[in-house]
Structure 1
Amino acid sequence: MERVLIDGVPVFWARGPEPLTAALLFGCGGRDETFRTIGITHLVEHLTMGSLPRVHHDRNASVDLDVTIFTATGRPDQVVTFLDGVCRTLADLPTDRIDKEAGVLTAEGGNYTDPTSAALYSQRLGVQGAGLAPWAGPGYDRLSAEQVRAHAARFFVAGNAALVLTGPPPADLRLPLPPGPRPEHLLPEPMPTAGPVWFEHVVAEVGVSLLGTGGPVWAQGMEVLSERLEQIARHTHGLSYEVGGDVVPLDRDRRIFTLTVDAREGQEAEVAGLLWTELRRMADEGPTGAELADRCEAARELADDPRAVEPELLDAAVRELFGMAYQDPATRLAQRSRVTPEEVRAAFREALSTAQLVVPCGVAPDLPGLAEGGCRRDRQEPTGRVFRPPLLAKVLTKDARGLRLILTDDGVALRDPDGDVHRIRFSEVVGVEEDGAGRTVFGLHGCQVPVDPELFKGAEAAVRAVDAAVPAALRYRRSELVNLD
């Protein structure tokens, strides 16, 4: 692997299968947004790709939680033209196309990661960083040209870019990106939990997240756990088809790992039980030496595959963007081979108390040792002005009788029909949706409180309090493109 600089951008290249493939990476993804600007990175990508002329060679772009990548495969001159067009467009985005691209993106849908991992990140981090992943936000039509330009000027600059090539850089290759430094990334701390928990969410799979570290011990351990779950849930019991997972960094050392398991309809509780049992077995017994050796052999075969050139280059580029040291495959394989079953067992034993397991709504699993979690809530109402549903609503529906909206000195709270109280302090508000006379307040910890005169008699006073307390930059009109309920 070679590393050179072109126009201040690090370029990593090695000879791989022809034709030439290029990938221009930026250290910017969904976790660099806010609730108010959810989707803005995807919009920048669409504005860029949508402005390029039509071609007949392969090209694409993608955004995940960490990086945005523009790729092209073709003759060297085609790749050079593509990269030049991407860079020049990012320097002067066609923001007059925002309305059209907002509609396209709404139709496209899509996620920065799988929905089950997204729910686990949000439960772990709140509505920030990677925890934004399951949220729709205000909608693409509520992103302004000024917000888009500011986002691009911060993140889509030469100091936050890296290029990989599966061949030597063409002599005429230029990367005319706007100048700018590598930005600081928000790295939120996980919210505290009292031991392992399970919670319900609007997901189709069962999943778990754990706090761990980078390096070979956790890489080996998560691969063994995934392999065990596939064997047991799919091949032994016939309850599942696929095991997946994801990982996001908390900082240079710490990681959030997720593991997801789909389930046959009606078997989610049993699959959750299998997942929890295997996780505890890993913490109690660890993997076998044979399992670790098998994972090492799988990594060795992957490294020897000629198609591994591009993924290896991408790994080096990502590590460059986030200030992490790159290690070549031989070094990584040597480190993996030295991992012992006891090291893996100790890592999982320490992390077991951080486990958060998610199941689809309505599933009631039997998980010994796991407490029920979910959004932050209480049973006691805070002191404040109380608003109740109109009398007619209370007569017509049982749920309305238990509803309470409470306006406190420092925020709002909702008592739901089950008696749980969801409280959002004004200092924790991440967004306020305006829908006519009503408001929906979104809190950092995942709660939503409707402040609506149609639901609560006299709530106009609460609406005025919300509007006065929450900065205008966090308020937005309800999207006209899609029903976000």
Structure 2
Amino acid sequence: MGAAHFGAPATTGLTKAELTEWACRWLAAGNAALTFTGPVPSALDIPLPAGEPVSHHQDPPLITVPTLIKSQKQGVALSLLVPSPDADLLCEALRYELLARLRHDSGIIYSVENFTTAIDNDQSQLDLILDPVRQNTVPTFREGINTLRGVVDAGFSEDAVQSARHALMTELGWDDYIPQDHLDQLAIDTLFGRSSRDRQELLDRATNVASGELTKILRASIGSLIVAFDKSVELSKADVRGLGLAMDRYEIWQRNKDPKNAKSAAEVDAESTTWRHKSTQARLTLTPTRLMTQTSGKTRTILLADVDVVGDHSCGGISLMDYRGRTCDLNMDEWKAGKKLRRKLLEAFPPEIIRSFSEE
């Protein structure tokens, strides 16, 4: 949570050919599921082509220890990997504990938004979004983590368990209709080959769950904690160390350990081109393999192969996003010969990763 800051996925830039290719690949009998809140109509006939079997690749995690991410988004977000069967109950119980301590007791947040997303057959990602005003961001950061670790040590309160139980039973407990979100999740689980509990199993679990069980689950999951934090707010190193978090210092611009070597490599590359900033001493150098910026004797680099999406803005700017979701925006008006820079940048990347971005 909090890593990517790239705006909308540029659906306005999709072409007819791309949409047709997508439909031919994905709208196939082996990759479609229908859900109904009542009996299936006898006259239903939706023929779909058999299509090719669709493989679902899952990338390994990029972060494997409790980590702090500096985000361009405001506020604080807490993220955990938890067992899928109890993800919703755990999420609601944590939401209650955070509201009780950070809103009702301390008055430093307004609300807690919570989400769960299935990752595989066993695990789901649990996200809790806290929304303090900016001056309360650091206290929210500290108290949010302390609240989670306090629950790990002392256990969930019975009120939190009752609140989680009530929330899930309300969502699933209507006799005359099955909630749409539950049906959607059943369809998704089927398409991914995942097992899923039926509605009654979920209701039974909500009815019988105990504080000790949820606490044990959280205790086993706390090692996957990731905290996203508003990067515009100053946070001391002591705060980070004191809470036992690693700092994710990865940025799309990577510093070269030996700037002299990086500079000489660019100079010997006959195909490199350099642009100068209009109002500073900064320089931007583009080679066939990397984009480099030199400022005050320091060189930073983006490897072109790491870039997954290029945003071609209608205003003339260029945005780059790498495989980790880190981004940068380049304003062509700030650079001498900016039109040539823009053209060379777009030519440096495969056409299939370049998306048109509207400013509307």
TM-score, shorter chain, exceeding 0.5 = yes
Shift of 1:460: 5.8
Contact 1:229 1:243 (8 Å CA) reproduced = yes
Q: CA separation in 2, counterparts of 1:240 and 1:319?
A: 35
Contact 2:290 2:303 (8 Å CA) reproduced = yes
Q: Looking at both structures, which has the greater relative contact order when contacts are Cα pairs under 8 Å and sequence separation is at least 6?
A: 2
**Of 335, 351, 355, the match for 1:472:** 351
1:249 match: 118
Q: CA separation in 2, counterparts of 1:270 and 1:438?
A: 37
Contact 2:25 2:51 (8 Å CA) reproduced = yes
Q: Percent identity?
A: 21
- CA distance 1:459–1:221, change in 2 (3 Å): same
1:393 match: 279
Number of equivalences: 340
**Of 287, 294, 305, the match for 1:427:** 305
Residue 329, structure 1, aligned to residue 199, structure 2: yes
- CA distance 1:331–1:258, change in 2 (3 Å): same
- Structure 2 unaligned segments of length 5 or more: list them: 268-273
Shift of 1:241: 3.1
2:79 match: 209
**Of 46, 49, 54, the match for 1:183:** 54
Shift of 1:276: 1.5
Contact 1:210 1:257 (8 Å CA) reproduced = yes
String of CA shifts for 1:169-208, please: whole Å, max 9, x gaps. 33322224444356333423221355321413234x4211
Q: Report the 3-state secondary structure (helix = DSSP H, G, I; strand = E; otherwise coil) of the residue aligned with 1:151.
A: helix
User: Which residues in structure 2 correspond to 1:61-140 (within 5 Å)?
Assistant: 120=1, 123=3, 135-137=7-9, 139-140=10-11
Residue 444, structure 1, aligned to residue 293, structure 2: no
Shift of 1:439: 5.5
String of CA shifts for 1:24-69, please: whole Å, max 9, x gaps. xxxxxxxxxxxxxxxxxxxxxxxxxxxxxxxxxxxxxxxxxxxxxx
User: Which residues in structure 2 correspond to 1:135-150 (within 5 Å)?
Assistant: 135-137=7-9, 139-150=10-21
1:358 match: 228
The one-letter code sitting in structure 2 at the alignment partner of 1:180 is G
Contact 2:88 2:116 (8 Å CA) reproduced = no
Q: CA separation in 1, counterparts of 2:193 and 2:186?
A: 10
Contact 2:120 2:194 (8 Å CA) reproduced = no
The one-letter code sitting in structure 1 at the alignment partner of 2:91 is M
2:271 match: none
- CA distance 1:332–1:169, change in 2 (3 Å): closer
Q: Report the 3-state secondary structure (helix = DSSP H, G, I; strand = E; otherwise coil) of the residue aligned with 1:327.
A: coil
- CA distance 1:175–1:236, change in 2 (3 Å): same
Give the alignment's TM-score, normalised by structure 2. 0.76
Q: Report the 3-state secondary structure (helix = DSSP H, G, I; strand = E; otherwise coil) of the residue aligned with 1:223.
A: helix
Q: Report the 3-state secondary structure (helix = DSSP H, G, I; strand = E; otherwise coil) of the residue aligned with 1:473.
A: helix
- CA distance 1:320–1:458, change in 2 (3 Å): closer
Shift of 1:164: 2.3
String of CA shifts for 1:386-433, please: whole Å, max 9, x gaps. 74634x522xxxxxx4x4434466322345789683x43232221334
Shift of 1:223: 1.9
Contact 1:224 1:295 (8 Å CA) reproduced = yes
Contact 1:208 1:259 (8 Å CA) reproduced = yes
Give the alignment's TM-score, normalised by structure 1. 0.59
Q: CA separation in 2, counterparts of 1:414 and 1:286?
A: 50
- Structure 1 unaligned segments of length 5 or more: list them: 1-119, 124-130, 395-400
The one-letter code sitting in structure 2 at the alignment partner of 1:373 is D
Residue 455, structure 1, aligned to residue 312, structure 2: no
Shift of 1:357: 1.8
Deviation larger for 346-355 or 321-330: 346-355
Shift of 1:297: 4.8
2:164 match: 295
Q: CA separation in 1, counterparts of 2:212 and 2:31?
A: 39
1:49 match: none
Contact 2:37 2:177 (8 Å CA) reproduced = no
1:310 match: 179
Contact 2:290 2:304 (8 Å CA) reproduced = yes
Shift of 1:339: 5.2
Q: Report the 3-state secondary structure (helix = DSSP H, G, I; strand = E; otherwise coil) of the residue aligned with 1:267.
A: helix
1:169 match: 40
Q: Report the 3-state secondary structure (helix = DSSP H, G, I; strand = E; otherwise coil) of the residue aligned with 1:235.
A: helix
Contact 1:442 1:448 (8 Å CA) reproduced = yes
- CA distance 1:163–1:418, change in 2 (3 Å): farther
Contact 1:303 1:329 (8 Å CA) reproduced = yes
Q: CA separation in 1, counterparts of 2:110 and 2:333?
A: 47
Q: CA separation in 2, counterparts of 1:210 and 1:296?
A: 20
Provide the aligned C-alpha RMSD in A: 3.8
